[in-house]
Structure 1
């Protein structure tokens, strides 16, 4: 039998989006899974604490969850859209710069996404 954690982890791992807890809950409800929103939050916290998922925090927006694959994010300052980007791993460079071992880092590059630029141009 599949556990709630496994179901949630599967939703995150197959998604191309950065889902909020509520979006994960709604996706699980589509398959008629009997799960409460509080259960989703509790399992997300446990998955995050066990380094099985990433939590992406952008000020002013709900936390979003992502798979554990080394990548960074572009964050639109207008709408909060997250886009995955694959930059060169900076772990060695950061270690050299600060003189300490790096466990991980979370690089978020702020920009204005093409959709928001288009809206601004058309006003």
Structure 2
């Protein structure tokens, strides 16, 4: 893990920026969505960096991978809320926001792969040590 902690992770920084922009977008929704879609957008968006950070603090690659997958699930949820908002005729989310979602999804997928690969190597090392 890096010496700067989870805050030094580019994927976490991207997630924080997306959450900030999601909060800004949620504020543009009509008043009738104040207790509907707007809080769903806020909750899903904040869950992404929170799960990245929580997973980073776990002791094993397996746990880290699990929380990264939860972050990816929240990202999919957020994208679904954005699509629904546009389908309902609310202010457009915009191409830039959807591109940010896609870019973060790619970063998460790549990080999950690297962490899972690391977990395999950790498991092999433990097996070899215990077997010898």
* Structure richer in strand, relative to its length: 1
